Amino acid sequence: MLADLIFSTPPIETVFSDATELRLMLAFESALATAQGIAGVIPAEAAATIADICRQTNWDTESIRQQTLLAGNPAIPFVSALKERVRQEHPEAVHYVHQGATSQDVIDTVLMMQLKQGLVQCQADLNQLTNQLAILAKAHEHTPMMGRTLLQQALPITFGDKVTGWLDGLLRTAERVKRVENECIEIQLGGPVGNSVSLGERGSAIRARMAELLGVGNTPYAWHTQRDRLADIAATLGILNGSLGKLGNDIILLMQTEVGEVREGAADGKGGSSSMPHKRNPVSSTFMVAIAHRTPGLVASMLGAMVQPHERAAGAWHSEWPVMRDLVRLTAANLSHANELIRTLEVDTERMKQNSTVPD
Amino acid sequence: MLADLIFSTPPIETVFSDATELRLMLAFESALATAQGIAGVIPAEAAATIADICRQTNWDTESIRQQTLLAGNPAIPFVSALKERVRQEHPEAVHYVHQGATSQDVIDTVLMMQLKQGLVQCQADLNQLTNQLAILAKAHEHTPMMGRTLLQQALPITFGDKVTGWLDGLLRTAERVKRVENECIEIQLGGPVGNSVSLGERGSAIRARMAELLGVGNTPYAWHTQRDRLADIAATLGILNGSLGKLGNDIILLMQTEVGEVREGAADGKGGSSSMPHKRNPVSSTFMVAIAHRTPGLVASMLGAMVQPHERAAGAWHSEWPVMRDLVRLTAANLSHANELIRTLEVDTERMKQNSTVPD
Amino acid sequence: MLADLIFSTPPIETVFSDATELRLMLAFESALATAQGIAGVIPAEAAATIADICRQTNWDTESIRQQTLLAGNPAIPFVSALKERVRQEHPEAVHYVHQGATSQDVIDTVLMMQLKQGLVQCQADLNQLTNQLAILAKAHEHTPMMGRTLLQQALPITFGDKVTGWLDGLLRTAERVKRVENECIEIQLGGPVGNSVSLGERGSAIRARMAELLGVGNTPYAWHTQRDRLADIAATLGILNGSLGKLGNDIILLMQTEVGEVREGAADGKGGSSSMPHKRNPVSSTFMVAIAHRTPGLVASMLGAMVQPHERAAGAWHSEWPVMRDLVRLTAANLSHANELIRTLEVDTERMKQNSTVPD
Amino acid sequence: MLADLIFSTPPIETVFSDATELRLMLAFESALATAQGIAGVIPAEAAATIADICRQTNWDTESIRQQTLLAGNPAIPFVSALKERVRQEHPEAVHYVHQGATSQDVIDTVLMMQLKQGLVQCQADLNQLTNQLAILAKAHEHTPMMGRTLLQQALPITFGDKVTGWLDGLLRTAERVKRVENECIEIQLGGPVGNSVSLGERGSAIRARMAELLGVGNTPYAWHTQRDRLADIAATLGILNGSLGKLGNDIILLMQTEVGEVREGAADGKGGSSSMPHKRNPVSSTFMVAIAHRTPGLVASMLGAMVQPHERAAGAWHSEWPVMRDLVRLTAANLSHANELIRTLEVDTERMKQNSTVPD
């Protein structure tokens, strides 16, 4: 879609590229073999070979994509491809590839690593945004403007009050994002039926080591069909996008011709109209509202997908993959629009004063 | 609807009754006057009169209900009715009723008090449920059963493993519920445009005192159009219902005639069929799944309603009222069904063993 | 909730009262016995007795409500109660009560009869609304006002153009409502597993006769787990509420103090503020927007509930009951607010002219 | 995402490629100029030049993508690029490019043309599916199997009954898809504020001609902020995916090891497990359920986006672009999985018989 950039950012696309996904799958298998090698569960030499091959970069992603349709998930053809290369290099080592793990272990852990990268980016962007807002609130703590309830002029406030409202909600949600990054980014490693039996007696140690190697949290139980952590991340992003949508919508309302109290900063070609060259349209704020329209349905999708049968779901699990990615994409884009919006916002304090002193 | 009891419980209906709602509105106005009296902002005598009248119980709720349609919210006719009685009792005191507050202060604070009661009930019920599950997990830590992935028999697990999975997710969400009760139940008090100017210099002290009197948290800023706390509570309940839906669905799947590993406990008339007397249907677990189907859309509704314009929303705010109530109702009902389910669950360890030792 | 009247109307509450629900259940059983009597499948005398008892009105609904929690649905205790009375009157007739039918036949057909009543009411209200809008559009076909895109003043239109836009969408949806009433209101009668075997060779004739007696459409197949008709009705109501939300939101925007081109008509106590007596707030339009916030999540709930297993669902089916009722309630309320809004709308043509001739 | 092919198909990706989108934008401008030339509103020579240049294929889509972020939508940089080429070719003709139209006219009409192509593909696939199901139903009209309610064995049906149920719902929805293709695929042409004034007196004739040239329906009014048609298409696809989800889920349930009545056809590598080579997992049916989990939230997103202010929305409109595309993508993928599923379905009539004659 030609309008794709509204709904994602280049850095977040990198996080969710096929290349990154494959690299993280390789990192998972490498960490597994390494941890099992250290634990003495597989031969050190086999572990080294596997880790070595996992550093290779020239994989046939297109073939993995195609085979996914038959296999049911991308981990199956990926593991086959990896085994094939290990077999050629070191035939005995092939039995130690992916040992004790299951497809969902790879896929969930990779998703978690991607989510972590996404959350880290979002936190940096949110931090930048709240810093900007704090400065803006301070700058306008005495700028009078009209407060409006049910879209009617009510009584005066300051523009600082309004910005403080935006900031206040976003600071709370910044804490929420930090919390889910800390609490919910966890390794998945439970083997075929999630009970870790396939990993043997050293299973706990292997999982702990892997979590460390991969930079994700450790957790005693597999969560193959306990999806509350993903739902929590999704909901937190949903809340963040709701707050950003409120901010963007306020700007659009304040930019109304009849109100005219703020404007999105002019840039070459920004906010023009194909038919009315004199207009200055809201752009970044429009995108923020657009994104806020999309996220609630995606969060609902994740909550609905929590009802996952037995030890692995047939469908609900698969539905999460694009939805979680879209949520992070949208959040990153929303934050990018918000930072751009605040960075270039023009505040017409004269108009604010005028509107607040001449009540209707 | 004749089936209403599936979707709520008598105790939660009490929390959300018109009588409770009115009582809490009175408590708000009483606390406001009391706090303002203590702060020396209104005469002590007036405060006492108002508090006194707020203890009266014979109010015309039907009239308030009817007037809400014209007024736009129930606080307006409520405050009128209160003022009328104060006027009769103590004409000068009428000016001190609801002083400095706005309708949304009353309505939001009352909702928060109801949510608190609801969350407290849910926590007690969830605690009972996790206790039951811990006992069940322990009792079956060595009971072999078949693990199933994508609804195919895979490898053996224990029934304890399965119960531990349910418990693990619910324990995490119990923490989440506790967190939102601590973090998100806050007083609303900001006056007409949320900047607390109407409350005067003693505004902060008044708000702190009121929060204490009403048993809710204090917060420096009004959050009239910053709805992240409500969204957070809603999402947390959504996650809880998702986990309960997974539990209920697992039971339904295990109860299948062809699987037959568990049964809902027999009670007189429970799980019968109007046309097939020999059947034993899942009942509590069916209700749990039904509720889990309803909650994601309600959470999405709350997230979508976060985009609230300026200092008070025209519509999005109002939409929250029934949705938050429904979410708490459904959660309470879901927990009630879950406790009943686990309390009376019959586990057929023989059948579990048989299914797990004769792989297909 | 004291604000309940915002979200429903008294006539629609009558349609969904326990009394109506029970009366329609009795109508179902009466029609079944009557049709089976005419078909010669049960004795005429038994049919007459059953129909007779189905005319009784003094049933213990509270007991049915309570037993639903054990039985799983209200049809089971209802049929028991009916059989009990028939047994007392005419012991041999008891075997012919509910013969060949299943709980879902009763419950689905009753819901359909309620939906029909609801759709008929909504069509009348929608007809009234489109008539009002047609008159308004005509009256203002030459009233100039400013057209606004992305909430910026763009180029002049007429107020008639704007009203025609609202009308155009609503007329299309009026056709949709008519279509679903015609296509989707169908009898449910398939017996325990939906294949109509329990109804015997005369099953088709019995179903046709019953459909006629009950005033709903006939359909050759039971649709116990094919829920597209309900989803279609739900979606249609969702679309209608979306269009009404757009109308209400436009009014709110036009009522802004800075725009001031329309006002909701003044009525005693309408649109006041508990803290700012000088304000005139949008009320009906606010309610319309509030309802439009709630309906999308409810439609999603119905669509998600379409995945119903085998011959009868355990949960998804039950989740539909309150959701469909809420959708009809909300639609009726929305139409009521819309009719009130347009009936009393004050149009400030002077302000419209001024805003459209003095571009900013 | 390596699993992308689960959620789309190559033919539908072609419909939604940047190349197609650009080609259709060019088709729109070409048709506009041609129709205006025929109507005598612009010089025939200018019209010919514009149409000529619109046949060029080497456009800088990346530049359009990038500029969209500043411009607010892709039509603005696209029209600029088109004008630039026309200017070079025939300077006087540049004033006739896009004359009287607005960005939303281009974007909405292009989306409608893409939706039409998508709906046509879906109808063909759905037709193939219902044909397959009709054959399957006929083949098994006498194959006994157990009917199951609330996932309990109830009474025997035939496999033909079950397939007929799937078919019955899908045939109704095939009519719905046909209806929305006929009723809802319409040209958008209203100019800057939707009242067609910019198109002059010949506006109606121009629009009719354009609709004919572009193969979409004609409509007297612009629908810039009346989005019921898109919502109707979205809901119809939501219903279709719900029915397909039910079908897929039934297959998964029937494939359970303990039931074993059907199997997805074996293909090389299909349905394997990375850790348990002996398993045969549901694949196509799993994908169908996954998609059915995603669509309700997307439909809700479209319904929520119907509340579009005044003459052009700031955000709600933009949110529709990816959502409508995703809905068509998912539907096409779902139908593809369903056709593959039914084409290769293995029915174990022996097991069906056995399960239905030995009631538990």
Residue-level pLDDT at D360: 46
Residue-level pLDDT at D296: 98
Closest by CA position to D352, among listed D177, D139, D90: D139
| pLDDT tens readout for residues C175-228 | 999 999 999 999 999 999 999 999 999 999 999 999 999 999 999 999 999 999
C67 touches chain A (CB under 8 A): no
A252 touches chain C (CB under 8 A): yes
Contacts (Cβ under 8 Å, ≥6 apart) of C7: B322, C290, C291, C294, C329, C330, C333
Q: What is the mean pLDDT of chain C?
A: 96
How far apart, in whole angstroms, are the C-alpha atoms of residue D62 and residue D64?
A: 5
Render the burial of D183-209: b for 16+ CB within 10 Å, e for the rest. ebbbbbbbbbbbbbbbbeebbebbbbb
Q: Which residue carries 């013969």 as its tokens? A: C99
Residues present in chain B in total: 360
* Pairing mode, strands C346-347 and A144-149: unpaired
Q: Which residue carries 């947390």 as its tokens? A: B236
Give the DSSP H or E segment for C144: strand C144-149
Q: Is A351 helix (H, G, I), strand (E, B) or coil?
A: helix
Residues 276-335 of D with CB under 8 A from B: 276, 279-282, 286, 296-297, 300, 304
- Which residues, in sequence order, are bridge partners of residue D146? D156
Closest by CA position to B287, among listed B233, B247, B236: B247
- The answer to whether A360 contacts C300, with C-beta atoms less than 8 Å apart, is no
| pLDDT tens readout for residues C82-98 | 999 999 999 999 999 99
Beta carbon pairs, C and D, within 8 Å: 235
**Burial degree of D350 (CB within 10 A; 0-12, 13-18, 19+):** exposed
- The answer to whether A310 contacts B194, with C-beta atoms less than 8 Å apart, is no
Task: Looking at the complex, report in whole angstroms how far the Cα of residue B269 sits from the nearest Cα belonging to chain C.
Answer: 6
Render the burial of A209-247: b for 16+ CB within 10 Å, e for the rest. bbbebbebbebebbbbbbbbbbbbbbbbbbbbbbbbbbb
Please report, as a single letter, which amino acid is at residue B250.
D
**Burial degree of D178 (CB within 10 A; 0-12, 13-18, 19+):** middle
* Pairing mode, strands D346-347 and D262-263: antiparallel
Other residues' Cβ atoms within 10 Å of the Cβ of residue C269: 15
- The answer to whether C279 contacts A149, with C-beta atoms less than 8 Å apart, is yes
**Burial degree of A201 (CB within 10 A; 0-12, 13-18, 19+):** exposed
Q: Which pLDDT band, with edges at 50, 70 and 90, does B313 fall under?
A: very high
Distances (CA, A) of B255 to A171, B152, B252, D152, D178: 47, 16, 5, 8, 41
How far apart, in whole angstroms, are the C-alpha atoms of residue A215 and residue A194?
A: 21
Contact D21, D64 (CB under 8 A): no
Residue-level pLDDT at C270: 75
Residue-level pLDDT at A271: 74
| pLDDT tens readout for residues D190-210 | 999 999 999 999 999 999 999
Rounding to the nearest 10 degrees, give the CA dihedral for residues D184, D190, D194, D198.
-170
Phi-psi region of C41 (alpha: psi -120 to 50; beta: other; left: phi over 0): alpha
The pLDDT of B183-210, averaged and rounded, is 97
With contact defined as 3+ CB pairs under 8 Å, the chains touching A are B, C, D
With contact defined as 3+ CB pairs under 8 Å, the chains touching C are A, B, D
How far apart, in whole angstroms, are the C-alpha atoms of residue B360 and residue B153?
A: 7
Helices (H), chain A: 10-15, 18-38, 44-53, 61-71, 75-89, 103-139, 159-184, 203-214, 228-255, 284-304, 316-343, 349-357
Q: Which pLDDT band, with edges at 50, 70 and 90, does A274 fall under?
A: low
- List, as one string, the DSSP characters of D51-99: HHHTT-----HHHHHHHHHHHSSTHHHHHHHHHHHHHHH-GGGGGGTTT
Residue-level pLDDT at A275: 63
Taking contacts as CB-CB distances below 8 angstroms, the residues of chain B near A107 are: none
The partner residue sitting opposite D293, judged by closest CB among A101, A292, A304, is A304
Beta carbon pairs, A and C, within 8 Å: 84
The pLDDT of D294-304, averaged and rounded, is 98
Residue-level pLDDT at B360: 46
Closest by CA position to C169, among listed D217, D306, D320, D113: D306
Task: Looking at the complex, report in whole angstroms how far the Cα of residue A155 sits from the nearest Cα belonging to chain C.
Answer: 9
Q: Which pLDDT band, with edges at 50, 70 and 90, does B65 fall under?
A: very high
Residue-level pLDDT at A15: 98
Q: Which pLDDT band, with edges at 50, 70 and 90, does D279 fall under?
A: confident
Please tell me which residue in B273, B325, B343, B351 is annotated as part of the active site. B273
Closest by CA position to D319, among listed D337, D289, D298, D347: D298
Closest by CA position to A120, among listed A180, A206, A73, A74: A180
Other residues' Cβ atoms within 10 Å of the Cβ of residue A19: 11
Residue-level pLDDT at C360: 46
The partner residue sitting opposite B260, judged by closest CB among D255, D280, D360, is D360
How far apart, in whole angstroms, are the C-alpha atoms of residue A236 and residue A243?
A: 11
| pLDDT tens readout for residues C44-67 | 999 999 999 999 999 999 999 999
Q: Is B234 helix (H, G, I), strand (E, B) or coil?
A: helix
Taking contacts as CB-CB distances below 8 angstroms, the residues of chain D near B238 are: none
Contact A64, A81 (CB under 8 A): yes
Nearest CA in chain B to A235: B235
Domains of chain D: 17-101+189-221 (1.10.275.10), 104-186+223-360 (1.20.200.10)
B268 touches chain C (CB under 8 A): yes
Distances (CA, A) of A51 to A27, A87, A216: 8, 14, 19
Please give the structure tokens belonging to residue C349.
């043509």
- Which residues, in sequence order, are bridge partners of residue D145? D157
| pLDDT tens readout for residues A93-135 | 999 999 999 999 999 999 999 999 999 999 999 999 999 999 9
A18 touches chain D (CB under 8 A): yes
A355 touches chain C (CB under 8 A): yes
B355 touches chain D (CB under 8 A): yes
Q: Which residue carries 């601590």 as its tokens? A: B182
- The answer to whether B165 contacts A194, with C-beta atoms less than 8 Å apart, is yes
How far apart, in whole angstroms, are the C-alpha atoms of residue B210 and residue B187?
A: 8
Contacts (Cβ under 8 Å, ≥6 apart) of B49: B86, B89, B90, B93
Please tell me which residue in C198, C312, C319, C351 is annotated as part of the active site. C312
Residue-level pLDDT at D253: 98
The partner residue sitting opposite B360, judged by closest CB among D260, D286, D359, is D260
Q: Is D140 helix (H, G, I), strand (E, B) or coil?
A: coil
How far apart, in whole angstroms, are the C-alpha atoms of residue A152 and residue A360?
A: 9
Residues of chain C under the 70 pLDDT cut:
268-269, 272-278, 358-360
Please give the structure tokens belonging to residue A221.
């139980």
Taking contacts as CB-CB distances below 8 angstroms, the residues of chain A near B235 are: 231-232, 235-236, 238-239, 299, 303
Above 90 in pLDDT, residue B21?
A: yes
Above 60 in pLDDT, residue D276?
A: yes
Taking contacts as CB-CB distances below 8 angstroms, the residues of chain A near D268 are: 70
How far apart, in whole angstroms, are the C-alpha atoms of residue C176 and residue C64?
A: 36
The pLDDT of B130-134, averaged and rounded, is 98
C58 touches chain A (CB under 8 A): no
Residue-level pLDDT at A318: 98
- Which residues, in sequence order, are bridge partners of residue A347? A262
| pLDDT tens readout for residues D92-101 | 999 999 999 9
Contact A12, A118 (CB under 8 A): yes
Above 90 in pLDDT, residue A268?
A: no
Rounding to the nearest 10 degrees, give the CA dihedral for residues A337, C295, D219, D37.
0
Query: Choosing among B303, B312, B319, which should be mutated to test the A contact, i.e. which has the most A CBs within 10 A?
Result: B303
Q: Is A354 helix (H, G, I), strand (E, B) or coil?
A: helix
Residue-level pLDDT at B275: 63
How far apart, in whole angstroms, are the C-alpha atoms of residue D308 and residue A151?
A: 16
The pLDDT of D223-247, averaged and rounded, is 98
Rounding to the nearest 10 degrees, give the CA dihedral for residues B63, B69, B70, B72.
110
Closest by CA position to D147, among listed C198, B249, B347, B247: C198
Above 90 in pLDDT, residue D156?
A: yes
Closest by CA position to B291, among listed B318, B319, B324, B328: B328
Above 60 in pLDDT, residue A360?
A: no
